[in-house]
Amino acid sequence: GNSVTQMEGPVTLSEEAFLTINCTYTATGYPSLFWYVQYPGEGLQLLLKATKADDKGSNKGFEATYRKETTSFHLEKGSVQVSDSAVYFCALIILQGAQKLVFGQGTRLTINP
Amino acid sequence: EADIYQTPRYLVIGTGKKITLECSQTMGHDKMYWYQQDPGMELHLIHYSYGVNSTEKGDLSSESTVSRIRTEHFPLTLESARPSHTSQYLCASREGRGEQFFGPGTRLTVL
């Protein structure tokens, strides 16, 4: 079956630190990969996506590269801000059959000033 | 800009009450979804719909029911609420292979 495994949290960093949140996946077929972010009291927002191997998604200083050989889609940011504090979800979708998003368990990120 | 709405945002009710959580989207999306999010943050798909008059149960068994009479509307109903139903409920919609948009969520507390 299809599944996503994320780095366990919570993750606490100081402002301007380098961020990596690991994400690996198992999929039958060729998934599209996503990172969603959930700020306190809100729903999920799409942060970035990649639809094929070696694609790099980027947005708001965050980046992730679709690595087929390691089945990974790690989220990185060079210098985090307090406003980046949120819960981050890695997800995949196979655009055949049921076409349901499969989410990782989420990683809570807290950035201290 | 996502145009998907959920009401109410917060609801506190007593055991045994019937409730309906509303979800509406103005984007004309064919696919709609309901997720239950537990305090540990994990998301569980409980219902989905591929279009009008289409509803399916999700990966997590739920005592709730849904209907899809109009494209833009996907309400979720609990006939008799219990404390175990206390959770955050998130609605989402998607068109074809496009981005999935989420509503702001309803936080339900059953006393």
* Separation in Å, CA A39 to CA A36, A47, B3, B16: 10, 12, 18, 32
> Would strands B106-110 and B10-13 be described as parallel, antiparallel, or unpaired?
parallel
**Contact A106/B42, CB-based, under 8 Å?**
yes
Q: How far is A41 from chain B (nearest CA, A)?
A: 8
In this structure, are residues A62 and A48 in contact, taking their beta carbons and an 8 Å threshold? yes
Helical ranges in A1-113 per DSSP H: none
Per-residue pLDDT of chain A (113 residues), as tens digits, is 889 999 888 999 999 999 999 999 999 888 999 999 999 888 999 999 999 999 999 999 999 999 999 999 999 999 999 999 999 999 999 877 667 899 999 999 999 99
- Cβ contacts of A86 on chain B, cutoff 8 Å: none
What residues pair up with A34 in beta bridges, in sequence order? A49, A91
> Which of B31, B41, B105 has the CB atom closest to A43's CB atom?
B105
Q: How many residues does chain B have?
A: 111
DSSP letter assigned to residue A78: S
CB within 8 Å: B31 and A105:
no
Instruction: Taking the CA atoms of A102, A108, B1 and B5 in sequence, report the sign of the dihedral they define.
Output: positive
Please name the amino acid found at residue B23.
Answer: C
| Residue of B2, B4, B6, B14 lying closest to B105 (CA atoms) | B6
Region for residue A97 given its phi and psi (left: phi exceeds 0; alpha: psi -120 to 50; beta: otherwise): left
pLDDT means per 10 residues, chain B with 111 residues, are 88 96 95 91 92 92 93 96 95 86 95 96
